[in-house]
Structure 1
């Protein structure tokens, strides 16, 4: 089985959860290959990069996505597009709204409210992605309105997520028929991810059998 770890907004290919996942599989599941692509690009490029990677990997073995935060959003898009299984960790469901904070911050720093050029850099992530108004528009045009393969999607939420509203994610994915597990406490980063790896692998393997 192939696993593609899809990192979140202020992360990269060397994210803590991605490395923990790969190390755990090396030690306990040598039959699982973990891929950790760097996705600090414009969203249309991320989408195309992931479609190409999943399509290539699927020629050899079953491929399952595991996406965190904004990576959960992209995992849902790719699953909808290709029908591949996906496990989502505290997924972002409305990046067109939550990332609007960068646009609002840039507007507030200007003397006028005439808007900003489409190529204006609103924010640079820790991984080097320069977010622009064009990126926000792309998210607005690619909102999550459905889960096309709910039997292939599982969601793991922390009730204590301090960045995203776990209730919104729970309501959306449950309304679409996807499996949703809500854990008490915790945080957005899933700080206890290392302790949850045995369960996470079980969930991923179950998805891989669908």
Structure 2
């Protein structure tokens, strides 16, 4: 059975609302053992090392659900190891935005202080991957995202399955209702044509 890997965003954690909703839903379905929801290290190189350690053993039988910066890492994971990715308001070229966050930054859930410097952008840049197997990706974006330009994601993931909702915000309002479809997408054979409306 497919493993779902939930990757939280920048300055976030598994305590975030979407991560907790994913944990709760998978548990309710009796699928808790099929979920990995790690605390991603702040430093990009450490983050990639952890993801490599967690994802490589899954041998392509996984789906990464990546929120914001987690979507950036999710794309790297699929290009590196196969599997699928569901991208929730993903960060596209996040290294271009790092100047807004230089200096001490506080994790939204844990309160931990992280110090961001210019090398953070350079480290992120080396893990950028362009989606090459378009059928492996599903973009979920809301046009009201106040942190990231949703149109950047629409362009970057052109040709991939896309669901764009009007309004909303960066947190992706109503995420929990999509979890049944996300799990169905994660378990759809690659050769099958995917229609979001029929994912149950």
Task: Please say whether Structure 1 and Structure 2 have the same fold, judged by a TM-score greater than 0.5.
Answer: yes
Give the match for residue 49 of structure 2. 48
Give the match for residue 161 of structure 1. 145
What are structure 2's unaligned runs of at least 5 residues?
A: 191-200
Task: Give me the TM-score of the superposition, normalised by structure 1.
Answer: 0.80
Task: Give me the TM-score of the superposition, normalised by structure 2.
Answer: 0.84
Following superposition, the deviation at residue 32 of structure 1 comes to 6.1
What are structure 1's unaligned runs of at least 5 residues?
A: 104-121
Q: Which moved more, 1:19-28 or 1:133-142?
A: 133-142
Contact 2:62-2:186 at 8 Å conserved across structures: no
Following superposition, the deviation at residue 150 of structure 1 comes to 1.5
Give the match for residue 194 of structure 2. none
- Establish whether residue 182 from structure 1 lines up as the match of residue 164 from structure 2: yes
SS in 1 for 2:19: helix
CA distance in 1, matches of 2:104, 2:78: 28
Following superposition, the deviation at residue 64 of structure 1 comes to 1.1
Give the match for residue 124 of structure 1. 105
Written as runs of structure 1 = structure 2, the 5 A alignment for 1:66-145 is: 66-103=65-102, 122-126=103-107, 127=110, 128=112, 129-144=114-129
CA distance in 1, matches of 2:93, 2:17: 24
SS in 1 for 2:22: helix
Query: What's the RMSD between the two structures over aligned residues?
Result: 1.9
Largest Rg, 1 or 2: 1
Following superposition, the deviation at residue 124 of structure 1 comes to 2.4
Following superposition, the deviation at residue 191 of structure 1 comes to 2.5
